[in-house]
Structure formats: structure tokens, C-alpha cells
Amino acid sequence: MISLVAFAAPSLAQADSLASFLSDLAPAELMPGADSFGPIRADVPVAPILQGGETLGYAFLTSDFVGTTGYSGKPIHVVAGIDHDAVLTGVKLVKHSEPIVLIGIPNSKMVALTESYAGMDLKAEAATGGEAHDLDIISGATVTIMIIDDSLVRGGIKVARALGLGGLAPNLATGPKRAVDMTQSETYNWQSLAGDGSTRRMTLDIGQINAAFEGTGDARAIKRPEPGNPDDTYIDMHLALVSVPAIGRSLLGEAEYQNLSDWLQEGEEAILVLGRGVYSFKGSGYVRGGIFDRIQLIQGDNSVRFFDKQHRRLGALATDDSPSFSELDIFKIPADTEFDPTKPFRLQLLVQRSVGAIDKSFLTFDLGYKLPESYLQPLAPTAPVALNNDSDEAAAKSALWQRIWRDKQVEIGILGAMLLVLTAVFFFQFQSTMNARVFYWFRIGYLSFTLVFLGWYANAQLSVVNLMALASSLRSGFTWDAFLMDPLVFIQWFAIAAALLFWGRGAYCGWLCPFGALQELTNKLARALKVPQWTLPWGLHERLWPVKYMIFLGLFGLSMVSMPLAETYAEVEPFKTAIILKFVRDWPFVLFALILLLAGLFVERFYCRYLCPLGGALAIPARIRMFDWLKRYKECGSPCQTCANECPVQAIHPTGEINPNECVNCLHCQVLYQSETKCPVVIKKIKRRAKTGNPGPDLALGRPPANHPNAEKVSVS
């Protein structure tokens, strides 16, 4: 989901502030009996909640204190009230962009669950590492709810400590007093590692799981016990901190440990999780959403949830005496998570049980870990670090986007190759289009790759929202950090900027737009199935062109007033439905996208021609292109109408001129330009050569004439 909204971050950062959300809330919603809010404090971003001028507590926005993001790549904004005893008195879910909720989970359920956190005692949460409360889960939104829970608990504890509420002392960053001894190179067998605590184990049998669900009192869960013998292993899970050299070399082997060291950047750590039994600690959710929702690492107030980019499988252990495991997985702990390998932590396992067609019941179990003292060495104490430091925040943002780019090196390389191939095709378009059949299948393959890789896999579909957000950020204060968060989107925009100077809008619209590719591919299928193709009368066709420009200008003007409102109306783009969410969405959105695709079966690229605001936006600066690359004969348009009749998007005027605002650079006209069976000019030249018997090369075509001895080798098929 990141690609459609990655460029919106700068403007949204201004709008999504505590002050903007408090203006829509009544003080009594956050604190019973309150009648007003005080000014937001300068030292800590909280607002006093007042009753008759007396401060009852404080309001805070979780995203000001915790940067955890959900499936959408955006923070989940929750405003909460906290009293002097560090108890949450009111909680309001004020904004989120989670696509999982758009798919069909009522927003009212999310709101109700969030509001149920009122009454949480943060003193108890701080004492237990956030485990003093029961976690309630909405089926189908596990990760989203966990992020809300994590944001409220961690954010609330940070506020309480910053203000000294409930007797919680400020949590100054003083630096670790001990460090991992990275000089140790000894290796140990499995028995030794298990004996000294280098590896930790949690074993649960089926009987224990059934008993645990019985303890919840959930009748539906109790009625569905795990099948099998109660003594059978449900899960046997082991944990080790393999970024510690001695542990890593012992369990992974020297070569695999070196690979791990090359994978980890400065400040990053890694754990090895091993499992066997009937229950998987990975599950299958990460395949769909890219996030492992059954495990999370917790250390103090901080929690770490792992994504697929932070995961590697291990083939086998290097220790000869180790048990056999069905799951061997390494997880990277990012440098910006404040994880300290010298301090205890725990890996929390979420156990779920289906209790209905779509409903599930949940339990959590903890596997604790503490690095043995033998791997530690003393470290001189460091000076306290300020809680709020702008330079550190800037460095953290820079480190974050750099890490994202490193994690997406493969995708960036593939996109770079796609752009290089497309650039070569455009620069050598005459040679590329010489063989009509080869070029046809090349284009089909390229569009298919655009749809599957750029669209459905990488979610790198560009949107008019990107342009509106860019304009908004230029008004409010431009920064590169937010724009660099999605490398594939960033690279595409820079490529488009260059392409507009050379070829116009068609470089993107005709080749790199996933929804455009989907339209063209479905139309090709329709043609193969003999679906009739409609050619609109030129007068009507020409008058429908401006519609997309009017849509773009309307959205752009609306974005000047309200960016969130403009994003709502930008749903005129079916990209989120068809590409990002792959049609898994509420039926009105799916129906709208399918209607557009249905129209495209009869009128090729119907949406591109008449409705696409992004295409209209790109067409405006495309007028400044420096070159006219598409070759034409003086006979084109008068008398020949072959290219005009066969242009897939009717971008060629009856008089023969190509409209650069509407051309998608499919290069079909360049195929026809060299066709010995369709182009009258080429056919005429071939006949003239045949009559004269001139063996010289046909300079106009750049190849030998048809009667030349070498003609068969280079003729157009």
C-alpha cells in the first residue's frame, strides 16, 4: 500500500497533529468532567485537559511518541487522555489508512476496541513490559490491532515518564553499562549452548494448549480442542541471539555466520528461532501481508515485529548434536528499534484457534531470553542523552530510508533493468520495431511484467495523489525524507521527469503504468475472443479528451483546500482497487473498477483516453518535449489513413499529425511505418524496386529491397 501514498507524507505530517485532532474532540471524551483543552506544551507534545481551569490530566497523540506503522505504511493516529495517576481515561481512534479495514471489517469495530483501552493503568504496564492487560483481537485485523495496542502502551508509558505521572521516573537514555564481547571466537556444541542459556526453549504440548483455552472461558474455543494425544508436542520453540559471534558461529557455522554479518548493518542484531510440532510460529500471514503476525520481540517498553525483508531461512544447524527442526529462521532486529542485546527480552508467541467461519480466539505465550554473562564485557558509562534531539531524529529518518533502499536492492535492480530496456527501445525504435511479430510479443511480455511486478507485487502504481502531495509539500516545507521512503515510486518519478523531455507522457502511460497494462492486456484477450471493437467518431472522441484534464484540475484545486478530501475524491482512479488491493475491497469500488475494465474490452484503454487524471497531469508538461521521435511519411494522413485507423488510442488526427498529449508511445505506428503488407508507401517502394531491378539498398527503409539476395534475412514477418 505504500506506493500510492508515499509522497503524501509531508502534507499529512502537517495535518495530522494533536491540535488538528483535538479541534474535533470534546474534552469530556478524553476525561470525564473536563470542559476545555489547554495549549500544547513546548517541551512534550501534550495538551492539558482542564476543568474550570484545573488540570485533570493530559491529551496526547500516539504517533507523536511511537513511529509504528501498519499495513498502509502510515501511522495509526490515536488520541488518548491520561490522568495524574498514569491511567488512560479516554481513547479515540481519530485517523488510519489501514486497507485491511477497507476490505470489509467495519470501522465501528476498530473504534469500539480502541475506546476499550480507557481505564488501562500504565504503571502496571510499565512494571510488566506491557503485559498487564489482555489483548483483544479482531479476526482479520490482527496486526492492525497489535499496532494500536503497541502504540497506546508504549506511547502512554513515554508520556507518563516524560511528565512524571503515577510516580514513573523519566527514562533518560544513558547508554548500556556493558557491551557484547565481539572478540570471542570459540564454538560450542548444542548441549553446551542449551546448558548455559545461549539457547532458550519453550515447549507446549496439546494438553497444555487445550487447558489454556479452557481457562479463557471462551465456549466456542473450548468446543474445538486441538486434535491428537494431549502429550503430543504442540510447539517446541528455541531462541538464540546469533548476532553474538560465539553463538552465531556455533549454531550457523563459519560461512553462514559470515553471510549473516554481511547482511547486518551497523547497530542491527539477529535472532535465530527454531520450531517443531503441529503449530508454526511463522504461519502463512507473512506471505500475504509481508509481516509475521504470530511472533513479536519485546524488551521493556519496546516491541519489534518482523517483516519479510528482515527474514532469512536457515538450511541446517552447524551443531552435530542438535535436535531436528522443521522451521529454522533468522530474523533481523533493525538498528532504530532501541534493542539492547545486553538486556533481557522475550519472544511472544500468538496462538490462535478458529472458532467459526472467520472468527478466531487467541492466547499469548512468552519465551524469555537473557544473554549469558560470559558473552559480556564492561563498558564505561556514557553521558545522558536528551530525550528530544532534532539532529538525532533527522539521522534516524535518513537511516530509515537508507535501510529501506538496502532492503529493496533486488526490486530496485529489476526496475532499473526495466527502465534501461525501455530506454534502449525508444532510442533504437526503428530497429526495435523492424520485426512486427517479435515486437508484438515483446510488448505483451513487458506489459505483463509491469502489471505483475510493478503493480501486484511491488505496489509501485503511481497516482495523481503523489503530484497533489508534492505540490502541498512545496507549500508547507519540502523534505526529501518522506519521498525517499518508497524507492520504486521515487525512481519512477525521476524517470518520468526525464522521459517527459524526450518522449512525453507515453513512456509511463504506455509501458510502466500497471493499470494501463491491465487494460491493454484484457483488451488483447477480448480481441482474441472476437469481442467487437468500437471506434468512436472523431468528433466525439476529440471532445472526450478534455475530461481527464478537468478531473485533474478539479482534484488539484481541491487539494489546495483539503488534502484528505482530495485523496477521497481521487478514488476516481481505480488503481488502489485493481492494483494495490487486487480487487479485494468493498463492492462499490470493485464494481467501478470492473466497469472501467469492461469498457476497455470494447474501446481499448478507455480509462486512459478519457478519465485518467494522472495521464492528464503528465500530458501538460509533456508539451515541452525536445524531440519528435516517431517517423512519418509525407503521405501520412493524406491520402493514407492506415496508422490513424490502427492507432490503439486514436491519438493520430485524420490529417496525419500525432497528438503528443494522447499518444502512449506503443510504437505501433512505427511497426506500420516499415510494414511491407500494410504501409502503401513501403509497398509502392518495393514495387518500384522490383520493376527497375535496382539491387541497391532502399535508403528510406534502411534495408535491402525485396528482390535483393539478402532480403529474406531481414524482411519483416
Q: Which of 60, 68, 45, 47 has the alpha carbon at shortest distance from 151?
A: 68
327 beta partners: 275
> Does residue 125 carry a pLDDT above 70?
yes
Look at 57-61, 247-251, 412-416, 497-501 and tell me which has the smallest mean pLDDT: 497-501
362 beta partners: 352
Look at 264-278, 557-571, 634-648 and tell me which has the smallest mean pLDDT: 557-571
Residues with Cβ within 8 Å of residue 663, at least 6 apart in sequence = 504, 505, 506, 510, 630, 649, 651
**Residue 240 or 42, more confident:** 240
pLDDT bin (cut points 50, 70, 90) of residue 700 is very low
DSSP per position, 75-141? B-EEEEEEETTSBEEEEEEEE---HHHHTT--HHHHHHHHHTTTT-BHHHHHHHTS-SSPPP--TT-
pLDDT tens digits for range 380-406: 544 443 444 444 445 545 654 676 688
Rounded to whole angstroms, how far apart are CA atoms 408 and 490? Answer: 13
**Residue 103 or 488, more confident:** 488
H/E run at residue 12: helix 9-15
The cell numbers describing 417, all together, are 533493468
Look at 6-15, 120-129, 153-162 and tell me which has the smallest mean pLDDT: 6-15
> Does residue 108 carry a pLDDT above 90?
no
The proportion of the chain whose per-residue pLDDT surpasses 70, expressed as a percent, equals: 82
The cell numbers describing 55, all together, are 488540570
Rounded to whole angstroms, how far apart are CA atoms 511 and 592? Answer: 23
**Residue 502 or 625, more confident:** 502
Q: What is the pLDDT, as a whole number, of residue 6?
A: 31
Mean pLDDT over residues 683-691, rounded? 84
Crossing angle of helices 254-263 and 245-252, in 10° steps, is: 130
| Residue 262 burial by Cβ neighbours in a 10 Å radius (0-12, 13-18, 19+) | exposed
Mean pLDDT over residues 583-590, rounded? 86
pLDDT bin (cut points 50, 70, 90) of residue 358 is low
Looking at the whole model, is its pTM more than 0.85? no
Contact 6, 492 (CB under 8 A): no
Q: What is the pLDDT, as a whole number, of residue 3?
A: 35
> Does residue 561 carry a pLDDT above 80?
yes
Q: What is the mean pLDDT of the chain?
A: 82
337 three-class SS:
helix
| SS3 letters across 560-626 | HHCHHHHHHHHHHCCHHHHHHCCCCCCHHHHHHHHHHHHHHHHCCCHHHHHCCHHHHHHHCHHHHCC
pLDDT tens digits for range 596-628: 999 999 999 999 999 999 998 998 887 777 777
The cell numbers describing 96, all together, are 488510519
Contact 614, 464 (CB under 8 A): yes
> Does residue 122 carry a pLDDT above 60?
yes
Contact 326, 340 (CB under 8 A): no
> Does residue 258 carry a pLDDT above 70?
yes
Look at 283-287, 327-331, 414-418 and tell me which has the smallest mean pLDDT: 283-287
Q: What is the pLDDT, as a whole number, of residue 704?
A: 44
pLDDT tens digits for range 187-229: 999 999 998 899 999 999 999 989 988 888 778 878 888 888 9
640 three-class SS:
strand
> Does residue 67 carry a pLDDT above 90?
no
Residue 321 has a CB neighbour count (10 Å cut-off) of 11
Mean pLDDT over residues 675-702, rounded? 72
> Does residue 98 carry a pLDDT above 70?
no
pLDDT bin (cut points 50, 70, 90) of residue 353 is confident
> Does residue 312 carry a pLDDT above 90?
yes
Mean pLDDT over residues 107-130, rounded? 83
Assess whether the previous peptide bond of 639 is cis (omega < 30° from 0).
Answer: yes
pLDDT bin (cut points 50, 70, 90) of residue 547 is very high
Mean pLDDT over residues 42-55, rounded? 89
pLDDT bin (cut points 50, 70, 90) of residue 478 is low
Crossing angle of helices 514-528 and 436-449, in 10° steps, is: 130
E strands, 196-259, where?
Answer: 199-205, 233-240
The cell numbers describing 652, all together, are 493520430
> What b/e string do you get for 579-601 counting C-beta neighbours within 10 Å, with b at 16 or more?
bbbeeebeeebbebbeebbebbb
Look at strands 360-369 and 311-313 and give their pairing. unpaired
Look at strands 269-276 and 327-333 and give their pairing. antiparallel
Give me the count of residues in the chain.
717
Q: What is the pLDDT, as a whole number, of residue 139?
A: 47
pLDDT bin (cut points 50, 70, 90) of residue 29 is very high
Residue in the block written with cell 556514557 = 382
pLDDT bin (cut points 50, 70, 90) of residue 17 is confident
pLDDT bin (cut points 50, 70, 90) of residue 5 is very low
Q: What is the pLDDT, as a whole number, of residue 57?
A: 92
List the end-to-end C-alpha distance of the chain, in Å, as a whole number: 43
**How distant, in Å, are the alpha carbons of 149, 154, 285, 533, 652 from that of 76?**
11, 14, 20, 46, 48
> Does residue 564 carry a pLDDT above 80?
no
> Does residue 105 carry a pLDDT above 70?
no
The proportion of the chain whose per-residue pLDDT surpasses 90, expressed as a percent, equals: 35
> Does residue 136 carry a pLDDT above 80?
no
For residue 291, give the DSSP letter: B
Which amino acid appears at position 67 of this protein? G
At residue 614, what are phi and psi to the nearest 5 degrees?
Answer: -65, -45
| Chain centre distance of CA 631 | 40
**Residue 326 or 404, more confident:** 326
Q: What is the pLDDT, as a whole number, of residue 247?
A: 95
Rounded to whole angstroms, how far apart are CA atoms 682 and 335? Answer: 64
Q: What is the pLDDT, as a whole number, of residue 163?
A: 86
> Does residue 103 carry a pLDDT above 70?
no
Residue 201 has a CB neighbour count (10 Å cut-off) of 12
Asked whether the CA dihedral 160, 163, 166, 169 is positive or negative, the reply is: positive
Contact 405, 484 (CB under 8 A): yes
Asked whether the CA dihedral 705, 706, 710, 715 is positive or negative, the reply is: positive
Range of 72-81, 245-254, 459-468, 690-699 with top mean pLDDT: 245-254
Look at 172-186, 546-560, 622-636, 687-701 and tell me which has the smallest mean pLDDT: 687-701
Rounded to whole angstroms, how far apart are CA atoms 128 and 692? Answer: 96
